[in-house]
Amino acid sequence: MIESIKMTDAITQVNNLLLANQFDDAAQMLGGLHPADGAEILMALKPEYQAVLIDRLQATELAEIFEQMHEEAMLAAAHHLDVDDLADVLDEMEPDMAADLIGEMDPDDAAEVLEQMEEAAPVSSLLAYPYDTAGGLMNLPPPSLRRYMTVKEAFAFLKQHYRDASEIYYVYVLDRNAKLIGVVNLRALILAEPEQTIEELMNRDVIVARVDMDQESVAQIIRKYDLIAVPVVDAEHKLVGIVTVDDVVDVAEAEATEDMQKIGGMEALDEPYMNIAFSRMVRKRAGWLVVLFLGEMLTATAMSFFEKEIERAVVLALFVPLIISSGGNSGSQAATLVIRALALGEVRLRDWWRVLRRELWAGLALGSILGSIGFARITLWSLVADTYGPHWMLVALTVGIALVGIVLWGTLAGSMLPLLLSRLGFDPASSSAPFVATLVDVTGLLIYFSVAAILLRGTLL
């Protein structure tokens, strides 16, 4: 039984064999593990050891291990193989995974390796679909039944055509034009009598995905209807492939990671944190940091407009970080909520008015809470000590009122920006929390000093 304790053992053993230069034994051990474990161990090794093991593993073993890797790792591992060996491995892989790997390769290398493959046709056909659609996610359609078959004939058909299948989920029923007309689940087939026909058993309400549907929608269908696999059809309703739940689990996880990283204010890494090359990681983080920094420079410009006011009332400067961060925090909350709700399909673009109304009241409520605390804080400090001078009451009022305005503004900006980006065809997750915070920082300063200018005229200013 494979459990996580065993996993650490296996890593240690493979490592020890490699350190003792017993490469054949290490390769044999790796090939004997579950491919998912084999992939995990291989990815954790240094490139030179990877090369040594990849060289010694059989094509069938490598194919199974490659299938468990994400694309960048597959690509890195494939570099250790020459074209002929890589073609052999690709021939053994599931066509959808082979297509994923080839799709990541340099076009010239891809053409060369396709030429060397014995069974290039299925892979080539899958390569024609954009990677982020149902077509890009799907595998080739499984052999399908006809409705006039009996259960007994169906079993004979499965025995004949599913020898090489890794697993059977549902069996599909096609008409003479290859159009999808029904689905039979295996439970129904097993429970049925031998002489019943497929037509009697099949479910005609097949939930399908269109081949050009984007991958997030496919994931939503599988999730919503609790499916193991969804058939993919073309415009004529012909069965062209299936997407299985394990592909979708990976997609959902990758999309969530991407969204989180974007919300966190960087480009999506697209690779595991511990595996990505340092320079690539820094580049992906520096890009947004620089953009945010350039945006945030406007705060210095905004502040310099009020240099005279600050000179006259330094007390105003003390609250600048407090004020602007409150706007940033409330904006970051609202943006995160709306981005995630959009990704899950809970909020649609047409709901913008309901979101705006909701966030208007939420912003007012949150702003009032923070404004009251800010007011109370300055009042308390002033009653105990003379921290904020004789006009502390006006300072407290300025801070309190500015907070209501800034939190309201942060909340509205944070909630509307993802919807606006989505409307304009951009990824809503790009309106990251830091991006919203930067926007709100600059405008927040304007709100704060404007409130101050009105309330403090004739006293402090």
Buried b (16+ CB within 10 A) or exposed e, 77-116: bbebbeeebbbbbbbbbbbbbbbbbbbebeeeeeeebbeb
**Using the rule CB under 8 A, is 286 a contact of a copy of itself?**
yes
Distance CA 115, CA 119 (A): 9
Could you tell me if 309 and 461 are in contact, meaning their C-beta atoms sit under 8 angstroms apart?
yes
**Using the rule CB under 8 A, is 373 a contact of a copy of itself?**
yes
From 346, 386, 450, 459, residue interacting with a copy of itself (rule: CB under 8 A): 346
From 13, 15, 150, 257, residue interacting with a copy of itself (rule: CB under 8 A): 257
**Using the rule CB under 8 A, is 307 a contact of a copy of itself?**
yes
State the nearest-atom distance from the C-beta of 112 to a copy of itself, in Å: 30
**Using the rule CB under 8 A, is 383 a contact of a copy of itself?**
no
Which residue type is seen at 120? A
State the nearest-atom distance from the C-beta of 331 to a copy of itself, in Å: 10
DSSP string, 103-169: HHS-HHHHHHHHHH-SSHHHHHHHHTS-TTBHHHH-BPPPP-B-TT-BHHHHHHHHHHH-TT-S---
Here's the x/- map for a copy of itself, 112-151, by CB under 8 A: it reads as ----------------------------------------
Region of residue 142 (left: phi > 0; alpha: psi -120 to 50; beta: else): beta
Q: Which of residues 425-454 bind a copy of itself (CB under 8 A)?
A: 433-434, 437-438, 441, 445
Structural tokens at position 389: 């001078």
Closer Cβ to a copy of itself, 14 or 221, answer by number: 221
Contacts of 68 (CB under 8 A, 6+ apart): 35, 36, 38, 39, 40
Q: Quick one: which segment of 97-105, 123-131, 144-152, 164-172 binds a copy of itself (CB under 8 A)?
A: 164-172
Residue 385 neighbours by CB distance under 10 Å = 8
Q: How far is CA 192 from CA 82, 183, 185, 198, 199, in A?
A: 51, 15, 11, 10, 12
Q: Which of residues 314-343 bind a copy of itself (CB under 8 A)?
A: 314-315, 317-322, 324-326, 328-330, 332-333, 335-341
**Using the rule CB under 8 A, is 159 a contact of a copy of itself?**
yes
State the nearest-atom distance from the C-beta of 158 to a copy of itself, in Å: 5
**CA-closest candidate to residue 53, choices 83, 75, 22:** 22
Q: Which of residues 188-217 bind a copy of itself (CB under 8 A)?
A: 190-191, 205-208, 210, 217
Structural tokens at position 161: 């055509």
Residue 204 neighbours by CB distance under 10 Å = 11
From 25, 85, 285, 392, residue interacting with a copy of itself (rule: CB under 8 A): 285
**Using the rule CB under 8 A, is 361 a contact of a copy of itself?**
yes
Q: Which of residues 218-237 bind a copy of itself (CB under 8 A)?
A: 222-228, 237
**Using the rule CB under 8 A, is 391 a contact of a copy of itself?**
no
Closer Cβ to a copy of itself, 68 or 113, answer by number: 68
Q: How many residues does the chain have?
A: 461
From 50, 133, 139, 261, residue interacting with a copy of itself (rule: CB under 8 A): 261
Closer Cβ to a copy of itself, 104 or 258, answer by number: 258
Instruction: Give the distance from CA 131 to its chain's centroid.
Output: 14
**Using the rule CB under 8 A, is 152 a contact of a copy of itself?**
no
CA dihedral 253, 259, 263, 268 (to 10 degrees): 90
**Using the rule CB under 8 A, is 349 a contact of a copy of itself?**
no
State the nearest-atom distance from the C-beta of 244 to a copy of itself, in Å: 8
